[in-house]
Structure 1
Amino acid sequence: MSSVLPSPEPAGGPAAVAPSFSPLYQQIKALITRSLQGGEWKPGEPIPSETELAQRFKVSQGTVRKAIDELATENLLVRRQGKGTFVATHAEEKVQFRFLRLIPDEGEAGNMPRRFLDCRRLRAPADVAKALEIKSGEPVVQVRRLLYFRDRPVVLDDIWLVGAQFKGLTAERLSELRAPLYRLFESEFGVRMIRAEEKIRAVAASGASAQLLEVPEGAPLLSVERLSYTYGNRPVEWRRGLYDTTTHFYRNELN
């Protein structure tokens, strides 16, 4: 990889428009992210030391450290005391539950048993295509599942995935799955969820959802619509979840 070079001075005198300025550590962050996206360092693997990266990019170690600090804050990298810095993976418990914000009133958040109801490939409806930024009619995978807490259904998820990136995902494969769903996406399809945006509103349970969640029709539910992105700010998953919060609450940390 080439070293980081300063941007050329704008030509054309005072009337010329200067290019937007990007701090050096942000440029290093972009280069490290590009290596992560390209698979140079796999999930769970260590990245080179700050000294090695500083030599590689011909910048100071402090600049590299600042770039890594931001990537760690964004959960792309994980620092381990005395061991180094590693590529974050959905195999780690801390990362597994980063996208699951439903917390029981009593006890701690953890892995919730699940039951897959459906998995099929179909042409993307217009609303799904718009969310995933693909053309209407392109292939998508639809997954429907229930999450349980103490043998009672708590979450009904409808998940839509970009079909081109999830070839081979079938109901049979999901029925064999023991790991978290995002870990499967990462290990078998090379798709890592980096960030997500959510829209939350209160809704009343319809007849079908009430039956699946075992609540009375019209019971209050929390509707959580999530759009998840991988590297390059590309949306790859759109899910619409209905949450029964009778024994749970939705927790978010604001920094």
Structure 2
Amino acid sequence: MADKASSPVGRTEYQPLYAQVKSLLLKRIGSGGWKPGEMLPNENELAAEYNVSQGTVRKALMALEAGKMLIRRQGVGTFVARHSRDQALFQFFRIVGLDDKRLTPASKVLTQRTARAKSDQAARLGIEPGASLHTIARIRFLNGIPAIFERILVPTTLMPDLAVAVGSEMEDEMYVIYQERFGISIARVSERLAAVAATSEEARHLKLDVGAPLLEISRVAFDVNGRAAEIRVSRCDTTRSRYAADIE
């Protein structure tokens, strides 16, 4: 049974009640009070627990569903969303074909090591400079062609025994691994784009000339509690693809 709410809804807060309930539910999911795939109590039970109306709870649940943190199954109940490979790609992979059709990448891990966080990396992750990081380098293939050279940085304190199979094709997306192995659900990402030139290492793996133009996507991924969980730097050959984002 999940733990009870650790803090009550404050009726004098500026935030609307439903937003406060949403925040408390998110905090509970992020702390492991409800696991991925677990069913939440029904609306009446949640309303009684948080001392709000059923309508307020419903609005909070709908907001979390819209943010893909919950799945509501008619006549069954409300469940914590579980990342799947397809869902993670649909939500977070923004490279499409020149015809705007979605592409499904295949990934091969090149190396996994540990390193010390540089000052800029530490600032982005909210950790101390010099803290230990998992560093993973991989190639992502689009339609069988190497198209993305990627480096992934994850604090070891967050996921101490994170390990991927070097030299093998990855079956799961990283965000599926984070959730299934460590209970860390990625809720949002922040990305910055830049035009860069291929290094010798990137050119070798992507079968390009050194200095060839690449699109760099520098991303920080945040979990449901707003904690930075990953830095990902993707350097993309956009000869046969492009970046696409919908802004609402």
Same fold (TM over 0.5): yes
1:4 aligns with 2:15: no
2:62 corresponds to 1:57: no
**Distance in 2 between the 1:151 and 1:174 partners?**
16
Shift of 1:150: 2.2
SS at match of 2:157: helix
CA shift for structure 1 position 205 = 2.0
**1:96 to partner: Cα distance:** 4.0
* Structure 2 residue 51 is matched with structure 1 residue 46: no
C-alpha distance in structure 1 between counterparts of 2:167 and 2:154, whole Å: 14
Distance 1:83-1:244 versus aligned 2 partners, 3 A rule = farther
- What CA distance in whole angstroms lies between the structure 2 residues aligned with 1:207 and 1:103? 26
In the TM superposition, what are the counterparts of 1:74-85 in structure 2 within 5 Å? 74-85=67-78
CA offsets 1:25-52 (integer angstroms, 9 cap, x no match):
1111122112211212211222222222
For residues 101-122 of structure 1, the C-alpha deviation after alignment (integer angstroms, 9 at most, x for no partner) is 1112358435421110110112
Amino acid at match of 1:93: D
**Equivalence for 2:120:** 127
What is the CA–CA distance in structure 2 between the aligned matches of 1:164 and 1:87, rounded to whole Å?
25
CA distance in 1, matches of 2:57, 2:85: 24
Residue correspondence of structure 1 range 236-251 to structure 2 within 5 A: 236-251=229-244
Among 86, 93, 98, the alignment partner of 1:93 is 86
Name the CA distance, whole Å, in 2 between partners of 1:170 and 1:247.
31
Which residue of 2 is the match for residue 17 of structure 1?
Answer: none
**1-side partners of 2:244 and 2:77: how far apart?**
31
Shift of residue 172, structure 1, vs aligned partner: 4.0
The residue type paired with residue 49 of structure 2 is: R
CA distance 1:131–1:86, shift in 2 (3 Å): same
Q: Which runs of 4+ in 1 moved over 6 A?
A: none
- Is the 1:90–1:96 Cα contact (8 Å) retained in structure 2? no
Q: Residue 6 of structure 1 aligns to which amino acid in structure 2?
A: R
SS in 1 for 2:22: helix
Render the CA deviation track for 1:71-90: whole Å, top value 9, x for unaligned.
12222112334433221121
CA–CA separation in structure 1 for the residues paired with 2:10 and 2:219? 38
**Which AA in structure 2 matches 1:167?**
P
| TM-score normalized by the length of structure 1 | 0.87
Can you list the C-alpha shifts for 1:188-231, whole angstroms capped at 9, x where unaligned? 12222111100012222232212211122332211100001113
Q: Distance in 2 between matches of 1:27 and 1:136?
A: 34
- Structure 2 residue corresponding to 1:196, chosen from 189, 193, 205: 189
User: Residue 47 and residue 220 in structure 1: after superposition, are their counterparts in 2 closer, same or farther (change >3 A)?
Assistant: same
Q: Root-mean-square deviation (CA), in Å?
A: 2.1
Unaligned stretches of 5+ residues in structure 2: none
Q: Which runs of 5+ in 1 are unaligned?
A: 8-19
- Partner secondary structure for residue 117 of structure 1: strand
Match of 1:183 in 2: 176
Q: Is the 8 A contact 1:120 1:171 kept in 2?
A: no
Give the TM-score, by structure 2 length: 0.89
